[in-house]
């Protein structure tokens, strides 16, 4: 048995009123990739924050034994000195600084107050080469994509001489290709440098691919540690540990939903970038959706799916929009979002915190925001009605919250997503465009969102679901469009569609140019 | 116990206000509570209430401020003074024209901020410089006085003393009726509502303060018209912010502008409205100032923007937008007003008065933030 690098023993951490961690144990061997899985709010991030010193020694109970000695970390610097480096889910890079400046932020090269820029960029380039990023370290971070930014984060960690790398949801904002590349990089470092890493992830296929051991956390307690070295474990096996029961089917069955006539149709839709009006973002796209139908739009990040959806939704994105839009057979031009809502269209954003919800406002305010006029008379809000509406949707969508007066910012990701859905359901649309409806939420909440989608189409509504998760698109859609580089590159029926056919649509379209 | 603690937390500023009043009463040997000081408190601070109401609306949209209000008060005074005193124009017509100028300025400012996306503090900084200069230039650096009597009386006049108690009683009865009705309605429909005790305490306190003012005014000159101007404006904006759709949008824009826009709300129009509204209220504050000074004055309105911002901040309006109430602002403005008055009565050196005000402002913000942190922890 290899040397145990890290042992966290009986960690208990309480916040006022909540026990976030209850006697958690974690053992990580040197040179392994250890995955930490669990539903949202299970305590994974809290555990890592304890480890990295964000929650200082003394605010929790239990011991951290690292490299054979008991550690007392009071701040992040303490743990970094020992070689424990954490990379957070939300990237912590400064967009208007160069890659090199970012990498050595707080760890500057040079003597005392004067920074040696040659050494900085020279060192930075060395580490960039290690992670296989072909960019100069003098490029501004805002110029490179999220996939590359994630690599910069890893290079930054290596520059701190990391021995134990903690990655919190490293692939949540990456597409499949970039995710694979990142995971392979971790495997390479493990093999060549003996780097130990802990990876927190919701994407179980990735966990099964990369991890040597998987520790499952549920409700602040360790449930089990599964060894993944002898034959890959099935995702269902992991899910069982996470939710405490077997989920026989990850996608609820939809039966007896009749698919009717065409509800919305887009023809030759072209959109240009708002800041660079010569750049085509959506290129001559045609598509349609029927009554009672779930249409999936698959594609890589940056394929133009969100841009397509938002430009249809009252021209809320892009310039020089051209093409024909028909709703229920009638040609319409939706110049504003308000007109789009009036034509019974709804767009549920992929970025619920940034574009979707007012986090500092209560659930009820968020629920009624897109359709406030329907509960007001002469601009005066009927607050009783508002409360009733919010309660009704809370029950309907089974949102977990003490009251609808609760601020949305205090809810978990899954429940926030439900509030966002409630808001648009209350706007009473016939056509819903759901952009990444299950991003960053746990298995249980995902299932409930799928049930809501099924409910919507059974009421005769149309759903367009944009998703980067192939299993989800395959599991939920009646028909699938594939987009790449702004163009529609494939339309597949439920029977034709597999992960392979979708990927081949994308790859073939790329070669054509 | 926990409930009581929550009540204290939610009304800290109010409690501090009471303590400050008691403190100054003790320090001045009771002269703080003389009837003339009630009148002075209203007369000296009327402009703060009016400007802070407008500033509240701007701040709600995301911590945006208007730095030009003080200069605009001066400018509008110079124009009004020229029309009424030098030109001998009809008072009503002059006031209408002043209001029109306010609308024009508000539209320009609103357009620049909402549609050209110029940061508010820069756009209004320009107004701060230009309007002061323009105003003083119109006055040729001299004070224009005296204002016509009919104009001054509109603001500085008093309702006859005999009305004081009647009006006080009517206000009390209305308040109690509205509160009780609101509570019973909620109970009938089975909604969450405040406890009976807290309702009674609230009613008793409000009635006591109202009647105290009524008595004091009766023993002085009667209810000042300025109080009526302020009360009407405050009540209108309390209604707008708490009960109407447009008021709601001010809060949601401050909370998340993009989410509000994607919900089909014209966020530019709301931003435009905020600054147009501010300009109109500034004209009213200008009238109040001209009437109190009975002149248009080159130094009128100096630092008014800062007084308004301070009142909002002390009253718990978020510097980042999205939260704050008219009631809180009123408490904040009153607190600052009482401190000013109390310190003058104690004849504290004006320079030290400024030091104390600065410390109070900082303390209020620090306290507010710590208090909120505690609340979210629970």
CA-CA-CA-CA dihedral for A131, A133, A137, A141, to nearest 10 = -110
Contact A234, A264 (CB under 8 A): no
State the nearest Cα–Cα gap between B129 and chain A, in angstroms.
32
CB contact under 8 A, A338 and B244: no
**Structural domain count, chain A:** 3
The residues near A396 (Cβ < 8 Å, ≥ 6 apart) are: A422
- B33-157+224-377: CATH class: mainly alpha
Instruction: Indicate if the pLDDT at residue A291 is higher than 90.
Output: yes
Q: Write down the pLDDT at residue B1.
A: 53
Could you tell me if A19 and A58 lie in one domain?
Answer: yes
Model pLDDT for residues B101-114, shown as the tens digit of each residue:
999 999 999 999 99
Could you tell me if A167 and A255 lie in one domain?
Answer: no
Contact A62, A11 (CB under 8 A): yes
The shortest CB-CB distance from B252 to any of A354, A369, A379 is to A369
CB contact under 8 A, B248 and A403: no
Chain A: residues touching B (Cβ < 8 Å): 15-17, 313-314, 316, 336-338, 340-341, 347, 349, 354-361, 365, 369-370, 372-373, 376, 379-381, 383-384, 387, 403, 405, 410, 423, 427
pTM of the complete model: 0.81
Residue A351 falls inside a structural domain = no
Could you tell me if A324 and A413 lie in one domain?
Answer: no
Q: What is the mean pLDDT of residues B83-96?
A: 94
Give the domain-ending residue among A196, A222, A243: A243
Q: Write down the pLDDT at residue A511.
A: 45
Instruction: Indicate if the pLDDT at residue A512 is higher than 50.
Output: no
Q: What is the mean pLDDT of residues B159-173?
A: 91
Distances (CA, A) of A83 to A78, A130, A149, A192: 9, 18, 21, 18
Q: What is the mean pLDDT of residues A59-67?
A: 90
Could you tell me if A340 and A463 lie in one domain?
Answer: yes
The shortest CB-CB distance from A316 to any of B245, B262, B323 is to B262
Could you tell me if A276 and A388 lie in one domain?
Answer: no
- A490: helix, strand or coil: strand
| Listed residue (A124, A147, A146, A148) closest to A136, CA to CA | A124
Using a CB-CB distance cutoff of 8 angstroms, which residues of chain A are in contact with residue B325?
A: none
Contact A277, A462 (CB under 8 A): no
Instruction: Indicate if the pLDDT at residue A40 is higher than 70.
Output: no
Q: Write down the pLDDT at residue B338.
A: 93
Residue A455 falls inside a structural domain = yes
Contact A425, A389 (CB under 8 A): no
**Phi then psi for A268, rounded to 5 degrees?**
45, 50
Residue A350 falls inside a structural domain = no
Instruction: Give the Cα separation of B261 and B267 in Å (integer).
Output: 6
- Give the DSSP H/E element, type plus range, for residue B125: helix B120-138
- Give the DSSP H/E element, type plus range, for residue A325: strand A319-327
Q: Indicate whether this complex's ipTM tops 0.90.
A: no
Residue A299 is part of a domain; what is its CATH number?
Answer: 3.40.50.300
| Listed residue (A94, A83, A92, A115) closest to A197, CA to CA | A83
Residue A119 falls inside a structural domain = yes
- The HSE-up count of residue A458 (CA atoms within 13 Å, CB side) is 10
- β-pairing verdict for A114-115 and A4-15: unpaired
Could you tell me if A404 and A437 lie in one domain?
Answer: no
Using a CB-CB distance cutoff of 8 angstroms, which residues of chain B are in contact with residue A405?
A: 192
Instruction: Give the Cα separation of A437 and A415 in Å (integer).
Output: 12
Model pLDDT for residues B339-376, shown as the tens digit of each residue:
999 999 999 999 999 999 899 888 888 887 787 665 54
Q: What is the mean pLDDT of residues B71-82?
A: 96
Residue A349 falls inside a structural domain = no
pLDDT-above-70 percentage for chain A: 96
Instruction: Give the Cα separation of B32 and B235 in Å (integer).
Output: 27
Could you tell me if A398 and A438 lie in one domain?
Answer: no
Instruction: Give the Cα separation of A473 and A297 in Å (integer).
Output: 8
Structure tokens at A208: 């099964």
CB contact under 8 A, B259 and A358: yes
- The HSE-up count of residue B377 (CA atoms within 13 Å, CB side) is 9
Residue ranges, CATH 1.10.3470, chain B: 33-157+224-377
Distances (CA, A) of A38 to A218, A220, B60: 6, 9, 39
Give the domain-ending residue among A243, A277, A304: A243
Instruction: Work out whether the CA dihedral A12, A15, A17, A18 comes out positive or negative.
Output: negative
The shortest CB-CB distance from A381 to any of B191, B248, B259 is to B248
| Listed residue (B351, B363, B244) closest to B310, CA to CA | B363
- β-pairing verdict for A294-299 and A462-466: parallel
Residue A127 falls inside a structural domain = yes
Give the domain-ending residue among A243, A261, A281: A243
Could you tell me if A265 and A411 lie in one domain?
Answer: no
Instruction: Indicate if the pLDDT at residue A182 is higher than 70.
Output: yes
A311: closest chain B residue by CA: B262
The pLDDT-based confidence of A89 (bands split at 50, 70, 90) is confident
Residue A188 falls inside a structural domain = yes
Instruction: Give the Cα separation of A297 and A299 in Å (integer).
Output: 7
Contact A73, A107 (CB under 8 A): no
Quote the Cα angle for A124-A128-A132, to 5°. 170
Q: What is the mean pLDDT of chain A?
A: 88
Strand partners, A266: A287, A325
State the nearest Cα–Cα gap between A49 and chain B, in angstroms.
18
Instruction: Give the Cα separation of A17 and B357 in Å (integer).
Output: 38
Structure tokens at A250: 């990850």
The residues near B185 (Cβ < 8 Å, ≥ 6 apart) are: A384
Q: Write down the pLDDT at residue A145.
A: 79
Instruction: Give the Cα separation of B14 and B81 in Å (integer).
Output: 39
Q: What is the mean pLDDT of residues B282-297?
A: 95
B254: closest chain A residue by CA: A358
Q: Which one has a higher pLDDT value, A406 or A113?
A: A406
State the nearest Cα–Cα gap between A326 and chain B, in angstroms.
20
The pLDDT-based confidence of B172 (bands split at 50, 70, 90) is very high
CB contact under 8 A, B251 and A336: no
Distances (CA, A) of B142 to A70, A283, A334, B296: 77, 66, 57, 9
Q: What is the mean pLDDT of residues A110-122?
A: 85
Structure tokens at A483: 């987009």
Structural domain boundaries, residue A294 = 249-344+429-513
Q: What is the mean pLDDT of residues A40-58?
A: 84
Total CB pairs under 8 A between chain A and B? 87
DSSP string, A250-289: SS----SPPP-SEEEEEEEEEEE-SSSTTSEEEEEEEEEE
Q: What is the mean pLDDT of residues A22-46?
A: 86
Could you tell me if A228 and A257 lie in one domain?
Answer: no
Model pLDDT for residues B191-232, shown as the tens digit of each residue:
777 788 888 988 999 999 999 999 999 988 899 999 999 999
Q: Write down the pLDDT at residue A177.
A: 82
Could you tell me if A40 and A102 lie in one domain?
Answer: yes
Instruction: Give the Cα separation of A428 and A393 in Å (integer).
Output: 12
Could you tell me if A322 and A393 lie in one domain?
Answer: no
Could you tell me if A10 and A149 lie in one domain?
Answer: yes
Q: Write down the pLDDT at residue A279.
A: 87
Residue A196 falls inside a structural domain = yes
């Amino acid at each position: 048995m290899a040397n145990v690098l890290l042992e966290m023993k009986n960690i208990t951490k309480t916040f006022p009123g909540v026990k976030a961690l209850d006697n958690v144990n974690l053992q990580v061997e040197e040179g392994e990739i250890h995955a930490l899985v669990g539903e949202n709010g299970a305590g994974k991030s809290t555990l890592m924050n304890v480890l990295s010193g964000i929650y200082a020694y003394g605010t929790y109970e239990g011991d951290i034994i690292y490299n054979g000695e008991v550690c007392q970390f009071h701040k992040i610097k303490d743990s970094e000195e020992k070689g424990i480096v954490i990379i957070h889910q939300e990237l912590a890079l400064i967009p208007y600084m160069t890659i090199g400046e970012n990498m050595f932020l707080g760890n500057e090269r040079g003597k005392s107050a004067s920074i040696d820029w040659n050494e900085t960029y020279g060192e930075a380039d060395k580490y960039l080469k290690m992670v296989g990023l072909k960019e100069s370290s003098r490029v501004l971070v805002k110029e490179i994509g999220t996939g590359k930014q994630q690599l910069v984060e890893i290079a930054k960690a290596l520059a701190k001489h990391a021995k134990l790398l903690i990655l919190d949801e490293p692939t949540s904002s990456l597409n499949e290709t970039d995710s694979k590349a990142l995971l392979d990089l971790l495997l390479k470092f493990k093999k060549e440098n003996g780097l130990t890493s802990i990876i927190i992830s919701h994407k179980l296929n990735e966990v099964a691919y990369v991890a040597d051991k998987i520790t499952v956390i549920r409700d602040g307690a360790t449930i089990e540690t599964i060894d993944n070295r002898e034959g890959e474990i099935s995702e269902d096996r992991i899910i069982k540990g996470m939710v405490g029961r077997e989920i026989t089917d990850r996608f609820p069955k939809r039966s007896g939903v009749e698919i009717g006539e065409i509800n919305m149709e887009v023809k030759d839709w072209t959109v240009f970038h708002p800041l660079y009006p010569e750049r085509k973002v959506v290129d001559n796209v045609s598509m349609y959706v029927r009554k009672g139908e779930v249409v999936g739009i698959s594609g890589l990040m940056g394929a133009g799916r969100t841009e397509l959806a938002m430009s249809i939704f009252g021209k809320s994105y892009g310039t020089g929009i051209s093409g024909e839009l028909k709703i229920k057979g009638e040609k319409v031009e939706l110049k504003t979002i308000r007109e789009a809502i009036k034509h019974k269209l709804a767009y549920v954003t992929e970025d619920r915190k940034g574009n979707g919800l007012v986090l500092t406002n209560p659930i009820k305010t968020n629920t009624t925001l897109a359709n406030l006029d329907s509960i007001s008379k002469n601009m005066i809000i009927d607050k009783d009605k508002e409360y009733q509406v919010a309660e009704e949707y809370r029950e309907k969508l089974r949102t977990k919250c003490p009251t609808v007066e609760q601020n949305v910012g205090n809810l978990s990701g899954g429940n926030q997503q439900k509030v966002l859905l409630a808001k648009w359901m209350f706007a009473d649309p016939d056509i819903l465009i759901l952009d990444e409806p299950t991003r960053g939420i746990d298995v249980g909440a995902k299932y409930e969102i799928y049930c809501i989608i099924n409910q919507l189409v059974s009421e005769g509504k149309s759903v367009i679901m944009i998703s980067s998760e192939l299993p989800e698109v395959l599991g939920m859609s009646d028909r699938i469009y594939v987009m790449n580089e702004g163009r529609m590159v494939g339309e597949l029926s439920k029977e034709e569609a597999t992960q392979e056919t979708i990927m081949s649509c994308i790859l073939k379209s790329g070669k054509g140019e | 116990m926990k409930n009581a603690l929550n009540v204290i937390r939610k009304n800290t500023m109010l409690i501090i206000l009471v303590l400050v009043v008691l403190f100054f009463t003790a320090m001045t040997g009771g002269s703080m509570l003389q009837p003339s000081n009630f009148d002075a408190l209203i007369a000296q601070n009327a402009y703060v209430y009016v400007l802070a109401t407008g500033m509240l609306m701007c701040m709600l949209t995301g911590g945006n401020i208007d730095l030009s209000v003080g200069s605009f008060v001066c400018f509008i005074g110079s124009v009004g003074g020229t029309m009424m005193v030098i030109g001998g124009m009809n008072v009503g017509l002059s006031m209408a024209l002043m209001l029109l100028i306010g609308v024009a300025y508000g539209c320009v400012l609103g357009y620049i901020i909402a549609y050209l996306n110029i940061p508010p503090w820069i756009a209004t900084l320009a107004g701060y410089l230009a309007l002061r200069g323009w105003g003083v230039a119109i006055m040729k650096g001299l004070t224009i006085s005296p204002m016509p009597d009919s104009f001054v009386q509109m603001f500085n006049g008093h309702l006859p003393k005999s009305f004081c108690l009647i009006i006080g009683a009517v206000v009390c009865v209305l308040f109690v009726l509205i509160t009780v009705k609101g509570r019973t309605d909620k109970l009938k429909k089975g909604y969450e509502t405040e406890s009976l005790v807290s309702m009674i305490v609230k009613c008793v306190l409000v009635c006591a303060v109202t009647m105290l003012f009524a008595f004091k005014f009766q023993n002085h000159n009667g209810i000042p018209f300025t109080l009526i101007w302020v009360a009407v404006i405050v009540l209108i904006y309390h209604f707008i912010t708490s009960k109407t759709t447009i008021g709601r949008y001010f809060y949601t824009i401050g909370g998340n502008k993009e989410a509000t826009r994607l919900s089909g709300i014209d966020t530019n129009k709301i931003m435009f409205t905020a600054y147009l509204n501010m300009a109109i209220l500034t004209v009213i504050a200008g009238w109040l100032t001209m009437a109190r000074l009975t002149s248009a004055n080159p130094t009128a309105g100096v630092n008014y923007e800062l007084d308004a911002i301070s009142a909002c901040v002390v009253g718990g309006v978020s510097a980042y937008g999205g939260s704050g109430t008219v009631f809180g602002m009123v408490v904040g403005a009153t607190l600052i007003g009482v401190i000013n008055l109390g310190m003058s009565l104690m004849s504290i050196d004006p320079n030290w008065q400024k030091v104390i005000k600065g410390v109070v402002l900082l303390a209020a913000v620090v306290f507010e933030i710590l208090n909120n942190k505690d609340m979210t922890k629970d």
